Chains A and B, each alone.
Chain A
């Protein structure tokens, strides 16, 4: 963008985020300006906690899987002691790609360029013709790694910052939503081992993050599939719904559908089925949780966006990977519940129908993201309105702000956190 631009928020001193992000509106350049995208990488993606992968993707020592933080190519490994590492996929010698396989099992990686080898914790093991360096073990070099790696119930997050808030502090009340998901397993554990759909999206990543808990769009964008299947999902996001949109802090938000499901008080309604259709699962849950099983089976799974890139949509997990200011990749998989084979097959089948490039829901969301990107590249009216439901927000018993099912409470929470991160220490 040229130095003579007169668009809001740009001054010779840099980008003034307090001008671009206001309580009831945000500026279009936030989705289109490459300079803002570059600053986001530094301040959000290469600084704060970002979701990377799940421990179930590397169950055994030596297992590895290629992952990412934004455009950064990572290898998530499990070493011989069981510890999970996030290595940058780059040789310390000449910067070549060290690991070209999507996944596998190996205790070491060998760079094909000059044969340098690394342990799966990133340590340099050796280099050929070592006299050129004065012998073995003379080089103080290693693969780059993400310095802080923490997991919560198997969800592995990484932060490029050497210190800062802990993962628990970052997650705050959003951790409880991950707990709710895990509670749907009779063993209290989920697995992400059903493979990934990768959906290329020509839109800024924030359009996706905002949409994940936008309860205003489903009736319109997804009306075609709701009408054809007679799905009750649409009603959850109607003007009369008792569901709430909740700002969970730190940019996290959720559509809490429990009020609707409690009204019906039917186990498995959240999954669009009845307990008679999945008797083994329901029996396993009652055996595991006793009296509490009824509540868990009625309330169902969370619908939560964890800033900046993890979206748990009931039975799917999505990861948003920004690539450029106007491009990102959505990674999606079906949640698998340990000890629930009967439900797992159904979750794979339903996910295939719903998500990914041909999904009967996500193809249409993605069409909207791409049309939205086209729209925000137009010069006027410059702003996107964020005011829906501002005047009817309330504070719940936990002190968290809530709006109705269709209010933009989640988006406002996203932007308030974003603004803080982009302005911090300036």
Chain B
């Protein structure tokens, strides 16, 4: 598939599983270190909202705003994540889809169980990553999370999806 070897695919999968584990376990420092300086973390709101500069999104964070979001979480007074949600996610159907400006484009499906005082909430959708090797290690330059129900009313989603 696009000349990706089994070994390369395996190393990509291991990176994605690590990213998922850091997010599930609220390891904000480790998660933040996975991003490149030109990072973009995007959760679109609606099928029709293609341009995040003119249409609102659930999340549209550049590197600076990722940092702000994590700083807020680290205060311990981000009440929508204090106490933090109990999270576990499954990542499946991982495929290398191509190359974009030198970054490897990877697609996957995900399913997250979130438990907190409010109750248990399930989140599912499609995630697209752009990965880059920096100093011999994978980094993420882009993560787009398309929820299956993004056109409906969503409950609070203050954890790292």
Where the two chains meet, the residues of A that have a C-beta atom closer than 8 Å to any C-beta of B are 102-103, 194-202, 221, 223-225, 227-229, 329, 332-334, 344-345, 348-349, 351-353, 356-358, 360, 363-364, 366-368, 370-371, 374
Contact = CB atoms under 8 A, between A and B. Distances in A.
A369 B80 CA distance: 11
B56 A198 contact: no
A224 B73 CA distance: 8
B80 A349 contact: no
Interface string B39-55: 00001011011001111
Given A196-B45, A358-B58, A364 B65 contact: no
Given A364-B78, A364-B80, A351 B155 contact: no
A348 B59 CA distance: 11
Contact of A368 (B52, B79, B161): B79
B68 A229 contact: yes
Contacts, number: 115
B59 A358 contact: yes
Contact of B58 (A103, A356, A368): A356
B133 interface: no
29 contacts: A195-B45, A195-B48, A196-B45, A197-B45, A197-B56, A198-B152, A198-B153, A201-B155, A224-B76, A224-B77, A228-B71, A229-B68, A333-B56, A334-B56, A344-B54, A348-B55, A348-B56, A351-B56, A353-B65, A356-B56, A357-B158, A358-B158, A358-B161, A363-B78, A363-B156, A364-B78, A366-B156, A367-B156, A367-B158
A397 to B, nearest CB: 38
Name the prevailing secondary structure of the B interface residues: loop
B154 A198 contact: yes
A360 B76 CA distance: 13
Chain A CB count within 10 A is highest, among B45, B117, B151, for B45
A199 B154 contact: yes
B101 interface: no
B75 interface: yes
Nearest to A362: B156
Contact of A228 (B53, B59, B75, B161): B75
Nearest to B73: A224
Contacts of B77: 223-224
